Amino acid sequence: MIVIRKPQQFDKMFTVEKKDAVAAVKENIDADFLVLSWPVMPSHNKENRDVALETLKAWDSRGPVLHIGEIFCGGCTGSEGFLNLLQEKYTDVEIDGYQSILNMNDSVIIHIPKQTKLPSKPLLTDRTD
């Protein structure tokens, strides 16, 4: 996971750190948005860890999760446990207009914690102006 810290002043660069995803979520308790882009499946990493599920559990529904990847069990991102936890604890808001490459079955979805009151108007709209 890469952690990007906001600069104290706008004229400074962002600090970028390379960290374990679970540790980064636990250390950055002030973070309010989590991005999981093509999270690796447990069978595809050296330690056989379910990093996506561990990270989502550490996140503990404290804010929205942007998930980029496949959203069905048997796909190549995340695990069944990860996808089940997303379904159990979050409301999905799919982002229209995303175009996958190479005939992948991926999508971009913002998962809003179920305890969050959603606005009555759409979160994302097409601009025509």
Which structure tokens are listed for 77?
């991102």
Split at pLDDT 50, 70, 90, the class of 124 is low
pLDDT value at residue 96: 76
pLDDT value at residue 122: 57
pLDDT value at residue 7: 57
The answer on pLDDT for 4 being more than 60 is no
Split at pLDDT 50, 70, 90, the class of 10 is low
pLDDT value at residue 39: 87
Domain boundaries, the chain: 2-113
Distance CA 3, CA 49 (A): 20
pLDDT value at residue 129: 45
Query: Tens of pLDDT along 34-77?
Result: 999 888 888 777 777 899 999 999 999 999 999 988 877 666 78
Query: Tens of pLDDT along 73-120?
Result: 666 788 889 989 999 999 988 777 777 777 777 888 889 999 887 666
pLDDT value at residue 127: 46
The separation between the first and the last C-alpha atoms of the chain, rounded to the nearest angstrom, is 37
Q: What is the mean pLDDT of residues 30-37?
A: 90
Segment (H or E) for 80: helix 80-89
Distance CA 95, CA 16 (A): 27
119 secondary structure, DSSP code: P
